[in-house]
Structures are given as structure tokens and as C-alpha cells.
Structure 1
Amino acid sequence: MPPESDIFESLRLELRRGSLILAVLGLLRREHYGYTLRKALALAGVEIDEGALYPMLRRLETQGLLTSEWREEDKRNKRFYRLSEDGVRVLARLVDAWRALNASVTDILEGGS
């Protein structure tokens, strides 16, 4: 059997994945490029490295939840992301689902149901 710390870390990462997607979608209600998105996440207490963020952004765009465009800013080309119309609708549904699940889990952890 793996050590408890290995099990904890595996479960923590699993829990974190879905939460990161929700946080990224929430922040992309306003336009960001990768670096400013990482900073906004970090300021909110949600750390993510570039190796995880950029593949996530590409996947969410492929799924139709984000739109992006290349623009020059500060003499550098940067890819700006924001929610698509589908992304806005999906985010609203995910937030509702997350709030309901969070309320249920909180109730369970506090000794309810």
C-alpha cells in the first residue's frame, strides 16, 4: 500500500483539477493573456504553472468554451483569451453545479446527511 502522503497528494491533485478549470473559466469572463491570467489566479491563491495552464487553455478553446486572438502589446505578440458565448453558458451551469455539490459536501462534512 502506498504511503498516506502519496495517497493524499494524488487525491489533492484530482480535487484541484476541476477547481482549476472553474477558476480559469471564471477569470476569463474578462480578457486575459496567459501571464496576466496566471497572475490573477496567483493573487486569488490559486497557483498554476505554465505547463498546465497553456494546454488547458488550448483544450478549452478546442471545446468551444474560449475564443482567442493574437495581438501586439508592448511590442510583443500575445494571445488573448476570453469566454465564448458557449463558455458563458457552460460556466453558469458549472457554477450552479459546483455550488450545489459544495453545499452537499459541506453538509456531509459538518455531520449532516
Structure 2
Amino acid sequence: MGQAPEKLDRLVMEVRRGALTLAVLLALREPHYGYSLRKSLGAKGLDIDEGTLYPLLRRLEDQGLLRSHWQQQEGRKRRFYQIDEGGEVALAQMRAEWRGLNHVIGQLGG
């Protein structure tokens, strides 16, 4: 008996959620504002919509993993985000976990 499409979508989103956090932290080693971050990730094959990205950025900043500042660019004020020391520590731990899980999944035939 197969899974309902909405249940499968939720499972895929659970996997994707952790990967997005990791990708955003990696990308924010260079400062970006929201739209430039979306474009950068999209150019590498990772599409993320605004409704997902902006809450994620706020959450990561609230958790002390990012810092932000307002900057004038192209005649507009933009909020730039960049990983900070706490984010670098979290990123190192997340990457180690990701690599370990990837290794195990590979051994399981994934």
C-alpha cells in the first residue's frame, strides 16, 4: 500500500529542511541579502522560496548563528546576513553529522 502524496511531501520536506539550513550557513560565509542569497543558491541548483528563506534567516539570527546589518546598495537599503562565530561552530558540527549520515546511507545502498 502506497503513501498518500501529502505524507510523502512532508517526509521530503523534513529531509530538505535540514539541508537548507546547512546550505544557507555555508552560503553566508559571504554576506548576502535575501534576494542575492536566493539567486546564489538557485544558481547552484538549490531553489528556495521567499516564504521559506526569510523565516529561516530570522530563526538562524535569533539562534545566534548569523549577524545582520542594513546597508545601502543600488539605491535601496538591504539587510545583509553573514555567518558569525556561533554559526561557524554549528556549521562544523552539522557538516560532520551530514558527512556521517551520507556515509551510512551510502553503505545502505542509497
Whether TM exceeds 0.5 here: the answer is: yes
TM-score scaled by length of structure 2: 0.93
Name the structure 1 match of 2:33: 33
Give the Å deviation of 1:109.
2.2
Q: Structure 2 unaligned segments of length 5 or more: list them.
A: none
Match of residue 56 from structure 1: 56
Superposition map of 1:96-107 within 5 A: 96-107=96-107
SS at match of 1:9: helix
Per the TM alignment, residue 37 of structure 1 is displaced from its structure 2 partner at its CA by: 0.2
Corresponding residue for residue 42 of structure 1: 42
Residue 93 of structure 1 and its aligned partner are, at CA, apart by 1.2
> In 1, distance between residues paired with 2:13 and 2:108?
21
Q: Percent identity?
A: 47
TM-score, normalising length: structure 1 = 0.91
Distance in 2, Cα, partners of 1:89 & 1:10: 29
User: Which consecutive segments of 4 or more residues in structure 1 shift more than 4 A?
Assistant: none
Match runs of 1:1-113 below 5 Å: 3-110=3-110
Please state how far the C-alpha of 1:3 moved relative to its aligned partner. Answer: 4.8
Q: Aligned-pair distance for 1:74?
A: 0.7
Please, what is the CA RMSD of the aligned residues? 1.5
Aligned length: 110
